[in-house]
Structure 1
Amino acid sequence: MLAVFWRDIVLAVLPSATLSDGAAPGAVAAAQERLGQLFPEDLASLLAETDGVRGAWGLDAVWPVERIVRDNVEFRTFPDFKDLYAPFDDLLFFGDNGGGDHFGFVPGDPSRGVVVWDHETDERRTVADGLADYLTRVLPSGGDEWYHPSA
């Protein structure tokens, strides 16, 4: 398998993206244990290289490990969500559009690629084949039109 260099992919698409140092050793393993889910290999390797990717307009394309844990725990345990939405236990959110929609993986079904959760409709649908496809679509976009179905 060829090595993927996530920084190169991100900066080729959006040279102004903000990248941090990689996650601390053991952070991904601790996060997986806390959430009871294995991270897809691509996400784990990206986080080891850069602990989050921030695009233009404040877009949190990929959250740092700490936020991945915090937000996923909140979505799974917030009492009001149980009445409003289908369960989130089968999703692993890792980023958002800044307007309420979240992007994630279905760890039990890698063929699903990257899924968007629409906060207004509770719809969950595939929008990218994988993490590289997602990054090359989300980073250069000027908004969230890239993942909405064509009219």
Structure 2
Amino acid sequence: MWRQVALEAFPDAGIREPIGASALAEAELRLGRSLPTELKQLLLESNGVIGRTHVDTVWTVDQIVEQNLFFWSDESLARLYMSFDAFLFFGDNGGGDQFAFVQKPERADVFVWEHESDSRRWVANDLRDYLGRSLSAGGDDWYQ
């Protein structure tokens, strides 16, 4: 289903090999929290999605773990920005802005964190809406 959603929005989307349930369980263990159900389903079909201009519209499971652990624990980021603890980042625009689910409180909505201003704002209703908007738009700054 998720492969089809991505390819309908952008026929040239990069679809990766899927991951197994054990890789998802390991990722959740490393993160200390659950991944959203829709994101898990997508990763079981494609370990990330590559969008226009080769942007990681949805990161691989390894990127998701590494980037979130970094954002949640890096002291230099903590001095510069508000806390990222409520977010689960899963993709970017290729220029520094990151896309995330809010997990505290848990929501299906997708938000963008704009790194220059530390603003955090809504951009999509859920993962399906995010893929449709980000992959079908004309550029990597579709959310502006």
- Smaller-chain TM-score range? over 0.9
1:24 pairs with one of 2, 20, 23: 20
CA distance in 2, matches of 1:64, 1:57: 17
For 2:99, the equivalent position in structure 1 comes to 103
CA contact (8 A) 1:116 1:124 kept: yes
Unaligned runs of 5+ in 2: none
Unaligned runs of 5+ in 1: none
For 1:46, the equivalent position in structure 2 comes to 42
Q: TM-score, normalised by structure 2?
A: 0.94
The one-letter code matched in structure 2 to 1:56 is R
Q: TM-score, normalised by structure 1?
A: 0.90
CA deviation digits over 1:93-125, x for unaligned, max 9? 000000100001012334360010010111111
Distance 1:63 1:36, change over 3 A: same
4+ residue runs over 4 A deviation: none
**Alignment identity in percent?**
45
Aligned length, in residue pairs: 144
Structure holding more strand per residue = 2
Q: Alignment partner of 1:38: what SS?
A: coil
Q: Alignment partner of 1:100: what SS?
A: coil
Q: How far is the alpha carbon of 1:127 from its aligned partner?
A: 0.7
Q: How far is the alpha carbon of 1:126 from its aligned partner?
A: 1.1
CA contact (8 A) 1:38 1:107 kept: no
Measured on the aligned residues, the alpha-carbon RMSD in Å equals: 1.3
Q: Alignment partner of 1:120: what SS?
A: coil
The one-letter code matched in structure 2 to 1:24 is G
